[in-house]
Amino acid sequence: MTAVSSDAAAPASPPAPKVWVLVCLLAVYVIWGSTYFGMRVALEVFPPFLMGGIRFLLAGSILFIVMRARGAPWPTPKQWLASTFVGALLLACGNGFVGLAERSVDSGVAATVVATMPLWAALFGAFFGDRPSGLELVGLILGFGGVLVLNRGGSLSFHGVDAIVLVLAPMAWALGSVWSRRLPVPQGLMSAATQMMGGGAVMLMLALVRGERPIAWHLGGLVAFGYLVTFGSLLGFTAYGYLLRNTRPALATSYAYVNPVVALVLGALWNGESFTRNKIMACVLTIAGVGLVTLAKRRPAAGKKAG
């Protein structure tokens, strides 16, 4: 998922980033939209932090070995520390809190709340001096409006601590996403590998403190866990890391608006859920919001070329 570094391909290099941005956006839109259902099934086998710790430590180790075999340098102590910090925010808090919440909150509601993350990213980005453009703000508002319509008439009956950690999850993920651009993390996919390893280690420590153990063994839960490792982590997280390094935060985090729509489609295909007028309206608003954020991303680039 990285751009090809070949001298022979140099003349065609300008279009390459756009292709990879599109591929990575498609990956986080579709794959991460399906992980809410995957986590729900995998939680029948593993408690939240034990599941996340094993998942990310395994995926990160695989990616780390691959990157080392391809010649990537060994991260410095400062890079390991920065990656662990970012991984703790993104994974232990962002992903782990969602796993905790899904004990009592259904996956659709979880996806709806997590979809507020781009708004938090815009807020944190402004604090760091990366102010969103007016067009991006309109897109973010439209996307958030789509999420609200999507959940209209749904159940938002949170239960105690689960409600609190679910609200904190997108805040932690947004802060980690914005802060990661300003910390000395490794370059390329090695950054994703070290963040998953560091975040996974933190999750395992939390699992140990909480006394988590496997719940029950069954094929469906193990298959869901394998899907989360290979697609949700190895493919999805590395694609997200590429977007963070090569696009504005508003575009990189726009997946949060599409994920609930993907969850709706999967629900209709797997569980026979019907599309209502509110759901269709939500899809239109979501697509419009993502489109505006994408357009806002392209305009500055066009201005630089003209100058």
pLDDT on residue 195: 93
The domain tally of the chain equals: 1
**Could you tell me if residue 11 is inside a domain?**
no
| The predicted structure's pLDDT at residue 267 | 66
Helices (H), 134-275: 134-150, 161-180, 189-210, 219-227, 236-246, 249-252, 255-271
Residue 34 included in any domain? yes
Instruction: Tell me what pLDDT residue 301 has.
Output: 44
Among 31-40, 156-165, 194-203, 204-213, the least confident range: 156-165
pLDDT tens readout for residues 287-303: 787 777 767 755 554 44
What pLDDT, on the 0 to 100 scale, is given for residue 155?
45
207-216 burial: b if 16+ Cβ within 10 Å, else e: beeeebeeee
Whole-angstrom Cα distance, residue 100 to residue 70?
37
pTM for the complete prediction? 0.76
Question: Three-class SS of residue 5?
Answer: coil
Does residue 6 sit within a domain?
Answer: no
pLDDT tens digits along 15-34? 347 788 888 998 898 888 88
* Percent of the chain topping pLDDT 90: 25
Domain contains 13:
no
- Judged against a pLDDT cut of 60, whether residue 89 lies above it is answered with yes
Mean pLDDT of 138-156: 70
The angle subtended at Cα 282 by Cα 162 and Cα 228, nearest 5°, is 50
Domain membership of residue 4 (yes or no) is no
**Residue range(s) defining the domain that contains residue 167:** 18-306
Q: Is residue 9 part of a domain?
A: no
CA distance 174 to 121: 5
Residue 118 located in a structural domain: yes
